[in-house]
Chain A
Amino acid sequence: MLLSCLIGVPLVGAIALGLLPLPEQEAKPARLGALAVWLVTVGLTVAAIAQFNPADSQMQLLETVPWIDRLGLGYRLGIDGLSLPLLALNVLLTGIAIFATGDKIRRPRFYYALLLLLSASVNGAFAARDLLLFFLFYELELIPLYLLIGIWGGDRRGYAATKFLIYTALSGIIILAAFLALAGLAGFQTFEYGPLLAFVTGMDSPLGGAGLPLGTQVLLLLPILIGFGIKIPLVPFHTWLPDAHVEASTPISVLLAGVLLKLGTYGLLRFGLGLLPGAWHAAAPYLAIWATVSVLYGAFAAIAQGITNGDMKKMVAYSSVGHMGFILLAAAAATPVSLMGAEFQMIAHGLISALLFLLVGIVYKKAGTRKLDALSGLFNPERGLPLVGALMVLGVMASGGIPGMAGFISEFLIFSGSFKDFPVHTLMSMVGTGLTAVYFLILLNRAFFGRLSDRAVNLPSVSWWDRAPAIALAVPIAVLGLLPSLLSVWSEAATNSLAAIARLGIAG
Chain B
Amino acid sequence: MTLAPSNPPQPLAQLPLGDIIDRLLRGEALLLDGPQAVVEVVGVLHSYGIVLDAYSRNLIYIADNTFLQLFPFFKYFNGQISLGKWLKHLWHDRINYEYAEYCMKSMFWHGGGALDHFVDSPEFRRLARTAIAAKIKSNPLIQGIDRAFPEFLLEQVRQLAYYSALGQFWRIMSDIFMDLSAAYDHGQITQIPDVVTLIQDGLVAAAATPVTYGVEIGGQRYDILPASANLTFLMDTAVPYVEAVFFRGTPFPGTISYNAQAGQVPVAQERFSYGALYADPLPIGGAGIPPTLLMQDMRHFIPPYLHEIYEAGLRHEDDLLVKICVSFQKSMFCVTTAAISGLAPHPLTSTVPEERSANVAYLTGWMERLSHSQIRAANGQQP
B-binding residues in A (CB < 8 A)? 379-383, 451-452, 457-461
Contacts and interface: CB of A to CB of B under 8 A. Distances in A.
Contacts of A382: 284-286, 315, 318-322
B316 A383 contact: no
Secondary structure of the A side of the interface? loop
A458 B320 CA distance: 12
Contacts of A452: 282-283
Q: Give 6 nearest A-B pairs by CB, closest first.
A: A382-B285, A382-B319, A382-B322, A383-B319, A381-B285, A461-B315
B378 to A, nearest CB: 15
Contacts, number: 38
A457 B314 contact: no
Interface string B302-335: 0000000000001110111110000000000000
A383 B255 contact: no
B314 A451 contact: no
Given A460-B315, A461-B314, A383 B322 contact: yes
Secondary structure of the B side of the interface? loop
B331 to A, nearest CB: 19
B280 interface: yes
A382 B317 CA distance: 9
B282 A451 contact: yes
B282 A457 contact: yes
Interface of B: 255, 280, 282-286, 314-316, 318-322
A379 B282 CA distance: 12
B377 to A, nearest CB: 11
A380 B322 CA distance: 11
A375 to B, nearest CB: 14
Contact of B255 (A451, A459, A461): A451
Contacts of B284: 382
Given A381-B285, A451-B282, A459-B314, 13 more contacts: A380-B282, A380-B283, A382-B319, A383-B315, A383-B319, A383-B322, A451-B280, A452-B282, A457-B282, A458-B315, A459-B315, A461-B314, A461-B316
7 contacts: A379-B286, A382-B285, A382-B322, A383-B282, A451-B283, A461-B314, A461-B318
A362 to B, nearest CB: 15
Contacts of A379: 286
A381 B283 CA distance: 8
B314 A381 contact: no
Nearest to B280: A451
A69 B316 CA distance: 66
Contacts of B315: 382-383, 458-461
Contacts of B314: 458-461
Contacts of B316: 461
Contacts of B282: 380, 383, 451-452, 457
A164 B173 CA distance: 68
A437 B137 CA distance: 62
B262 to A, nearest CB: 16
A48 B285 CA distance: 49
A338 B283 CA distance: 47
Most buried by A among B255, B280, B284, B322: B322
A137 B255 CA distance: 55
A380 B285 contact: yes
A461 B318 CA distance: 7
B286 A380 contact: yes
Nearest to A453: B282
Nearest to B316: A461
A59 B238 CA distance: 84
A381 B319 CA distance: 8
A381 B295 CA distance: 14
B322 to A, nearest CB: 5
B319 to A, nearest CB: 4
A448 B14 CA distance: 40
A36 B280 CA distance: 49
A460 B314 CA distance: 6
Nearest to B255: A451
Contacts of B283: 380, 451-452
Contacts of B255: 451
B287 to A, nearest CB: 8
Contacts of A459: 314-315
A493 to B, nearest CB: 50
A458 B316 CA distance: 11
Nearest to B282: A452
A188 B124 CA distance: 108
A383 B285 CA distance: 9
A225 B326 CA distance: 61
Nearest to A458: B314
Contacts of A381: 285-286
A458 B314 CA distance: 7
Contacts of B280: 451
A461 B282 CA distance: 16
A455 to B, nearest CB: 12
A468 to B, nearest CB: 17
A457 B322 CA distance: 10
A253 B304 CA distance: 45
A461 B319 CA distance: 9
A457 B280 CA distance: 12
Contacts of A460: 314-315
Nearest to B325: A382
